[in-house]
């Protein structure tokens, strides 16, 4: 063998794909050629690196989809497949929305009932007191003093 080993032959040697005669020839050449040994080493490392990459197994959902497509196309769908039909999820969604709306309305109504009564009564008393102040004296500067001088509102107004 003159020069260096043929590249494809070197790869075939690496892959164990050479017939005995060319294999012996390549081995004889490499025994005296450092460049070809280095090249073979480099190719071997690449081959090992490629084979070391993790294998990608077929995803389970793809296998299931293939089986559904090519085997069970006429078979009844699983029970949970019904949930994907608009005829089911549309009314169910509307019902859920209505339930949510009613719940929010009831919650807001309950909130109104929870407003403390005492501040309301105090405000009512204040308005009653204001009603007793003569209109001519409803001036911002002396309004508070006049209100404080008034007698308490009658009990009947607080009911």
Residue numbers of the site for another protein (CB under 8 A)? 7-12, 15, 17, 42-43, 45-59, 62-63, 65-67, 69-74
* Shortest distance, position 68 Cβ to another protein, whole Å: 11
Of the pair 19, 83, the CB lying nearest another protein is at 19
Give min distance, CB of 85 to another protein, in A: 23
Which is closer to another protein, CB of 7 or CB of 93? 7
Helices 117-131 and 140-149 meet at what angle, rounded to 10?
110
Give backbone dihedrals phi and psi of 72, rounded to 5 degrees, phi first. -105, 30
CA gap 154, 129 in Å, rounded = 9
Compare residues 59 and 119 and give the one whose CB is closer to another protein: 59
Q: 108, 154, 144, 150: which is closest to 132 by C-alpha?
A: 150
């Amino acid at each position: 063998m003159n020069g260096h080993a043929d590249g494809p032959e070197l790869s075939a040697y690496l892959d164990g794909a050479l017939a005995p005669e060319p294999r012996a020839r390549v081995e004889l050449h490499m025994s005296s050629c450092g460049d070809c040994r280095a090249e073979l080493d480099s190719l071997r490392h690449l081959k090992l690196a490629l084979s070391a990459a993790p294998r990608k197994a077929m995803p389970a959902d793809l296998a299931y989809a293939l089986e559904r497509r090519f085997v069970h196309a006429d078979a009844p769908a699983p029970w949970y497949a019904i949930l994907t039909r608009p005829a089911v999820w549309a009314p169910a969604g509307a019902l859920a929305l209505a339930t949510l709306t009613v719940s929010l309305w009831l919650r807001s109504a309950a909130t109104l009932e929870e407003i403390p009564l005492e501040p309301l009564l105090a405000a009512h008393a204040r308005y009653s007191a204001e009603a007793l102040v003569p209109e001519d004296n409803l001036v911002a500067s002396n309004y508070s003093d006049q209100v404080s001088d008034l007698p308490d509102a009658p009990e009947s107004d607080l009911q």
